[in-house]
Amino acid sequence: MRRLLFVLMMFCTLPAWADSHDQLYKVAGWPEQRAHFTDALDAAQQRYRNSLPPAVFQALVDNSSQRFAPQAMDQRAEAHLRKNLANPAPALQFFQSPLGRKIVAAELLATRRDQLAKNAQGLPHIEASATRALLIGHLAKALPAREAGAEVSLAIAGVAADSLSQMLPGLLGGGQAQGMLDGQRQRLMEQIGNDLDNTLLYVYRDLSDAELEEFANFAESPDGKAYYQAALAAIRAGLAVGQSTSSLKQTGN
């Protein structure tokens, strides 16, 4: 009987440790970041409530709910992380370490609703030693922060374009809306890049120079590059970049 209970316990706990991709998705803070994005989206919607005609505002809300449904976002993002990251073990090991958990905690704090509101007018300027500035420079090149930030902005803008197209059929037809958004990608990345070093200095302000160096070493390593490339693909998939709201309705995603 004890042996049977032990086997049953093994089967009950197997998914928790057998699926490294699922573990990595959770340990690296993806579900919490998606929740923070939902909070920021809700706040943005409320800012538009009094400035848009009721019908346009409702279309914006409906399209946002369709595109950014939490469960669907998580499913798309995790599926692409799984598809694009052949070996999740090195990244999982890193983010399960004390430093990795500290990094995730810092990133989650920076994107919390109250912190975004606090820094709505811009982040404070962070002074840094030459050594720390050099380490941050390495991180800025290794992390896909420019690309990820641009995709978030384009995804939200895409919902607005979809909503406008629904209210005024033919105004932005034939892929014109998506073409306009794609044309903004490089400009957005340049804007983000202009202040990226200071942003990273602020987000990772509680990491020591030694911890920053270890983080940069991971991000620049083959395993780190593989993770962050897969992470960017997962972000794009979660945000449904390049997909119209109508196509998401058709696929059920």
- Contact (Cβ atoms closer than 8 angstroms) between residue 154 and residue 242: no
> Percentage of the chain with pLDDT > 70?
78
Task: Encode pLDDT of 180-211 as tens digits.
Answer: 666 778 888 888 889 999 999 999 999 999 99
Looking at per-residue pLDDT, the higher value among 47 and 144 belongs to 144
Tokens 């306009």 -> residue: 180
Whether pLDDT at 162 is above 80: no
d(CA 196, CA 194) in angstroms, rounded, equals: 6
For the segment 88-97, the average pLDDT, to the nearest whole number, is: 97
* DSSP H helix total and E strand total for the chain: 16, 0
Predicted pLDDT of residue 4: 41
Question: Which of 28, 31, 44 is CA-nearest to residue 153?
Answer: 44
Task: Encode pLDDT of 103-142 as tens digits.
Answer: 999 999 999 999 988 998 899 999 999 999 999 999 999 9
Distance set, CA 176 to CA 24, 35, 161, 173, 222 (Å): 38, 31, 10, 6, 38
pTM over 0.75: yes
Whether pLDDT at 57 is above 90: no
How confident is the prediction for the chain on average, in pLDDT? 83
Looking at per-residue pLDDT, the higher value among 26 and 243 belongs to 26
d(CA 198, CA 126) in angstroms, rounded, equals: 6
Looking at per-residue pLDDT, the higher value among 160 and 235 belongs to 235
Task: Encode pLDDT of 215-253 as tens digits.
Answer: 999 999 999 999 999 999 999 999 987 666 555 655 555
Confidence grade of residue 18 (pLDDT, cut at 50, 70, 90)? very low
